[in-house]
């Protein structure tokens, strides 16, 4: 599919993340401090809440779907409404629209506009679904012979995280405190995390409820769209707490997502297959067709006041399990899925060192620090560092991107229990 042209000139370049082919959904604050729904087009935001209030657009049989300024109510209306709305917005923004001048009042510059969480996060589940990531981490801690857990090739492993910790790009976070125990210590200490890390992930947003087990095909239909996701991880807290039940406080500091939800429809031209299976999957996990996407990804690290260094480049097509498989597996016990559930893909890593999606892997547990363009070295994230995830599916002369998924790490607070 070629680049689709818009009357918004900035949407017609190969550099923008937001051509007419994309039309991702976000939420922003107006100059009056109200939260509105918006659609990104070039370097502008189309104010959907204002369009609805003025009667320019309307969802059939619904009133004020966008009044509260997030996309949760709209998601609940289902795929048929999603498709109709996307077609209507595409028509409004296409270069042959009859009255573009009348719509310019609904455009807001992205620069200088504060973005908000685009939907209400109901629940958050994080998976561990990249073969190369799991192999690298397992090799570090258990050796190459036992790198993968016995169940890994048969089941999408996941854990239930904290929806309350999800925050939108641009929101700073503080280095967490927790229990730490070095191998040469008899007892743990309570101290700030020393091995703070990122995890480059994609997040799938569930747009429809389920009331029992669903197939992979049905799960794919339930997914509203995708975001970039950074599942911040306190590796030293995790090392002490994770046996036997897995991550807890080490993953509860923050999870940063991109401000824009790229609808599944925009990613359709970029579908690709999961890799050849190393072990046959059970029938309920078999895919009816391509369920992954070809999305180029990168991670940038910028020390405070200094230029950014790209420390990783990989692709979403490296995942062993797709989001549809993860969602289908999530329902096998009868677990109900809700509108606004967020599924983290798990760290996305490729076979090469430069394709690793976490500093734990890139520096091999801190033993092989990397050198930044500034001359500084890093084993893990330091105070003042800004980490930015970027991603885009690359088409013929255009890109379908997510915008930056960025956050700065602030120093830990003073001992929160010191009175």
pLDDT single digits (tens) 91-102: 999 999 998 999
3-state secondary structure string across 282-318: CHHHCCCCCCEECCEEEEEEECCCCCCEEEEEEEHHH
Q: Which of 116, 143, 171 is the last residue of a domain?
A: 116
Contact assessment for residue 163 and residue 127, using Cβ atoms and an 8 Å cutoff = no
* 167 and 285 inside one domain: yes
pLDDT single digits (tens) 256-297: 999 999 999 999 999 999 999 999 999 999 999 999 999 999
pLDDT on residue 1: 83
Confidence of residue 244 (pLDDT cuts 50, 70, 90): confident
Q: Indicate if 133 belongs to the active site.
A: yes
* 357 and 377 inside one domain: yes
* 292 and 273 inside one domain: yes
First to last CA, the chain: 62
Assess if residue 4 is contained within a domain: no
Mean pLDDT of the chain: 96
* pLDDT beyond 80 at 419: no
Options 36, 132, 133, 330, the catalytic residue: 133
State how far the Cα of 142 lies from the Cα of 148, in Å rounded to an integer: 9
Residues with Cβ < 8 Å from 264, sequence gap 6 or more? Answer: 220, 223, 224, 225, 226
Q: Which of 348, 364, 242, 370 is nearest to 297 (CA)?
A: 348
* 385 and 239 inside one domain: yes
Q: Which of 45, 227, 251 is nearest to 128 (CA)?
A: 251
Q: Which of 116, 133, 148 is the last residue of a domain?
A: 116
Percent of the chain with pLDDT over 70: 100
pLDDT on residue 385: 98
CA distances in angstroms from 172 to 175, 232, 256, 286, 352, listed in the order given: 10, 12, 9, 40, 30
pLDDT single digits (tens) 165-216: 999 999 999 999 999 998 889 999 999 999 999 999 999 999 999 999 999 9
Backbone angles phi, psi at 30, to 5 degrees: -75, 175
* 135 and 198 inside one domain: yes
* 255 and 300 inside one domain: yes
* 104 and 173 inside one domain: no
Q: Which of 99, 116, 133 is the last residue of a domain?
A: 116
Average pLDDT over residues 304-333: 98
Contact assessment for residue 378 and residue 304, using Cβ atoms and an 8 Å cutoff = no
pLDDT on residue 418: 83
* pLDDT beyond 90 at 105: yes
Backbone angles phi, psi at 41, to 5 degrees: -145, 110
Contact assessment for residue 341 and residue 123, using Cβ atoms and an 8 Å cutoff = yes
Could you tell me the CATH number of the domain that includes residue 305?
3.90.850.10
Tokens 């490296």, residue located: 318
State how far the Cα of 331 lies from the Cα of 316, in Å rounded to an integer: 23
pLDDT single digits (tens) 47-97: 999 999 999 999 998 889 999 999 999 999 999 999 999 999 999 999 999
Confidence of residue 416 (pLDDT cuts 50, 70, 90): confident
* 96 and 174 inside one domain: no
* 155 and 27 inside one domain: no
Domain count, the chain: 2
3-state secondary structure string across 325-389: HHHHHHCCCCCCCCCCCEEECCCCCCCCHHHCCCHHHHCCCCCCCEECCCCCEECCCCCCCEEEE
pLDDT single digits (tens) 124-168: 999 999 999 999 999 998 998 889 999 999 999 999 999 999 999
Contact assessment for residue 299 and residue 311, using Cβ atoms and an 8 Å cutoff = yes
CB-count burial class (<10 Å; 0-12, 13-18, 19+) for 414: exposed
Contact assessment for residue 169 and residue 405, using Cβ atoms and an 8 Å cutoff = yes
- Enclosing domain of residue 77: 9-116
Contact assessment for residue 49 and residue 67, using Cβ atoms and an 8 Å cutoff = yes
State how far the Cα of 152 lies from the Cα of 175, in Å rounded to an integer: 31
pLDDT on residue 324: 98
Q: Please, how many CA atoms are within 13 Å of residue 193, restricted to the half-sphere of its CB? A: 31
What 3-state class would DSSP assign to 144? helix
What does the buried/exposed string (b/e) look like for 370-402 if buried means 16 or more CB atoms within 10 Å of the residue's CB?
A: bebeeeeebbbbbeebbbbbbbbbebeebbbbb
Confidence of residue 309 (pLDDT cuts 50, 70, 90): very high
State how far the Cα of 403 lies from the Cα of 16, in Å rounded to an integer: 9
Could you tell me the CATH number of the domain that includes residue 92?
2.30.30.230
CA distances in angstroms from 118 to 31, 225, 259, listed in the order given: 18, 11, 7
Assess if residue 389 is contained within a domain: yes
Assess if residue 310 is contained within a domain: yes
pLDDT single digits (tens) 1-38: 899 999 999 999 999 999 999 999 999 999 999 999 99
* Assigned token pair, 255: 């999870």
Neighbours of 15 (CB within 10 A): 9
pLDDT on residue 364: 97
* 129 and 112 inside one domain: no
Assess if residue 417 is contained within a domain: no
Assess if residue 419 is contained within a domain: no
Residues with Cβ < 8 Å from 12, sequence gap 6 or more? Answer: 3, 5, 6, 19, 42, 95
pLDDT on residue 291: 97
pLDDT on residue 141: 87
Assess if residue 393 is contained within a domain: yes
Q: Which of 127, 189, 199, 169 is nearest to 358 (CA)?
A: 199
* 27 and 144 inside one domain: no
Percent of the chain with pLDDT over 90: 95
Tokens 């997502």, residue located: 257
Residue 257 is inside which H or E element, if any? strand 255-257
* 104 and 136 inside one domain: no
Backbone angles phi, psi at 91, to 5 degrees: -65, -40
């Amino acid at each position: 599919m070629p680049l689709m042209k818009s009357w918004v000139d900035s949407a017609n370049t190969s550099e923008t993340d937001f051509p007419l082919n994309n039309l991702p959904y976000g939420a922003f604050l107006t100059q009056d401090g109200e939260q509105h729904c918006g659609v990104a087009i070039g370097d502008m935001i189309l104010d959907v809440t204002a369009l609805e209030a003025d009667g320019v657009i309307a969802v059939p049989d619904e009133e004020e779907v966008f009044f509260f300024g997030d996309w949760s109510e709209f998601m609940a209306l289902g795929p048929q409404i999603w498709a109709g709305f996307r077609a209507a917005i595409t028509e409004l923004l296409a270069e042959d629209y009859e009255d573009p001048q009348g719509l310019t009042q609904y455009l807001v510059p992205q620069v200088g506009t504060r973005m908000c969480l685009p939907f209400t996060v109901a629940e958050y589940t994080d998976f561990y679904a990249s073969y190369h990531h799991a192999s690298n981490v397992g090799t570090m801690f258990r050796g190459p012979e036992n790198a993968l857990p016995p169940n890994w090739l048969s089941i999408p492993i996941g854990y239930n995280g904290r929806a309350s910790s999800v925050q939108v790009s641009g929101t700073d976070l503080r280095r967490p405190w927790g229990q730490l125990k070095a191998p040469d210590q008899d007892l743990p200490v309570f101290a700030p995390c020393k091995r703070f890390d990122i995890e480059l992930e994609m997040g799938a947003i569930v747009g429809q409820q389920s009331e029992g087990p669903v197939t992979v095909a049905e799960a794919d239909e339930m997914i509203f769209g995708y975001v970039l996701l950074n599942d911040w991880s306190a590796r030293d807290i995790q090392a002490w707490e994770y046996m036997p039940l897995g991550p807890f406080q080490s993953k509860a500091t923050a999870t940063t997502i991109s401000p824009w939800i790229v609808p599944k429809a925009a990613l359709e031209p970029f579908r690709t297959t999961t890799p050849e299976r190393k072990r046959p999957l059970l029938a309920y996990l078999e895919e009816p067709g391509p369920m992954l996407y070809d999305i180029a990804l990168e991670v940038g690290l910028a020390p405070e006041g200094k230029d950014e260094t790209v420390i990783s480049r990989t692709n979403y097509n490296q995942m062993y399990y797709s989001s549809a498989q993860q969602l289908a597996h999530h329902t096998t016990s009868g677990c109900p899925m809700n509108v606004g559930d967020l599924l983290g893909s798990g760290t996305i890593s490729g076979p090469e060192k430069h394709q690793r999606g976490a500093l734990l892997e890139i520096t091999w547990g801190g033993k092989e620090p990397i050198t930044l363009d500034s001359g500084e070295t890093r084993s893990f994230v330091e105070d003042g560092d800004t980490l930015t995830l970027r991603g885009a599916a690359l088409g013929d002369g255009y890109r379908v991107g997510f915008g930056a998924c960025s956050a700065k790490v602030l120093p830990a607070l003073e001992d929160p229990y010191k009175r």
